[in-house]
């Protein structure tokens, strides 16, 4: 967890610096509020990761009770059938195997359901956290849509380029936040969830950089 905390602090410091620069350069721009929202999201990284990776003790207790119940039921069944290993006949042995197999299937099915339920619950929380970042990425995209060389509200190419650069910075940092969520969960399937955010932010950033190149010319 130490490495994760170090990366959290790095992202938070970078976002704080970016937010301050946006406030100083564009105090009246709506991008300022969006950067503040992304900064607050970064400050909540420890809490969000804790929620995503939180152990479900209800599942743990239920799994323990299931194993206990099935074990007691199996012992009770053996006693009820009055089966002993001395002089056991084929019919009794087959009946014992059938009962044992049924209980083992029940135990395995119940255990799989409980374990998979916890995994699904964690992924659901991860998806919610990633979707929040996806929404913020779309907000950043909306800010830059009307900003281009032909429609420059700042009447200064350098200021427009600076604004667009801040947009790409916010997109990149949002993607980094999502990466921390996935890294904390340590689930291969979770990587595909984060890749949607990374693909989105990268695609928007490419469009913005095309504008920046035009502005710099």
Q: What is the DSSP letter of 27?
A: T
Q: What percent of the chain has pLDDT over 70?
A: 69
Number of domains in the chain: 1
Average pLDDT of the chain is 80
DSSP H or E stretch at residue 16: helix 2-25
148: left (phi over 0), alpha (psi -120 to 50) or beta: beta
Tell me how far apart the alpha carbons of residues 215 and 217 are, in angstroms, rounded to a whole number: 5
Burial 90-128 (b: 16+ CB within 10 A, else e): eeeeeebeebeeebeeebeebeeebeeebbeebbebbbe
Residue range of the domain that includes 95: 2-216
pLDDT, tens digit, 9 for 90 and up, residues 103-131: 666 666 666 666 666 777 788 888 899 99
Say which residues have a Cβ less than 8 Å from residue 161's Cβ, sequence separation at least 6.
212, 215, 216
pLDDT at residue 115, rounded to an integer: 67
pLDDT band at residue 192 using 50, 70 and 90 as cut-offs: confident
Of 8-12, 50-54, 89-93, 176-180, the poorest mean pLDDT is in 89-93
Task: Please identify which residue in the block is written with the tokens 């152990």.
Answer: 55
pLDDT, tens digit, 9 for 90 and up, residues 37-64: 999 999 999 999 988 887 766 666 766 6
Tell me how far apart the alpha carbons of residues 142 and 199 are, in angstroms, rounded to a whole number: 17
Tell me how far apart the alpha carbons of residues 207 and 217 are, in angstroms, rounded to a whole number: 16
pLDDT at residue 215, rounded to an integer: 83
pLDDT at residue 80, rounded to an integer: 62
pLDDT band at residue 2 using 50, 70 and 90 as cut-offs: very low
pLDDT at residue 1, rounded to an integer: 43
């Amino acid at each position: 967890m130490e490495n994760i905390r170090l990366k959290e602090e790095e992202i938070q410091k970078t976002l704080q610096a970016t937010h301050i620069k946006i406030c100083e350069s564009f105090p009246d721009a709506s991008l300022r509020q969006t950067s503040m929202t992304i900064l607050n999201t970064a400050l909540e990284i420890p809490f969000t990761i804790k929620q995503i990776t939180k152990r479900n003790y209800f599942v743990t207790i239920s799994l323990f009770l299931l194993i206990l119940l099935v074990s007691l039921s199996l012992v009770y069944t053996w006693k009820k059938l009055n089966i002993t290993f001395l002089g056991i006949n084929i019919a009794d042995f087959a009946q014992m195997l059938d009962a044992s197999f049924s209980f083992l299937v029940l135990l395995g099915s119940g255990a799989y359901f409980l374990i998979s339920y916890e995994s699904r619950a964690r992924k659901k929380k991860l998806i919610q956290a990633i979707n929040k970042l996806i929404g913020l990425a779309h907000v950043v995209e909306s800010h830059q849509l009307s900003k281009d060389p032909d429609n420059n509200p700042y009447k200064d190419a350098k200021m427009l380029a600076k604004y667009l650069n801040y947009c790409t910075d916010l997109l990149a940092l949002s993607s980094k936040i999502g990466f921390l969520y996935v890294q904390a969960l340590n689930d291969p399937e979770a990587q595909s969830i984060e890749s949607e955010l990374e693909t989105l932010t990268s695609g928007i950033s490419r469009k913005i950089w095309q504008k920046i190149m035009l502005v710099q010319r």
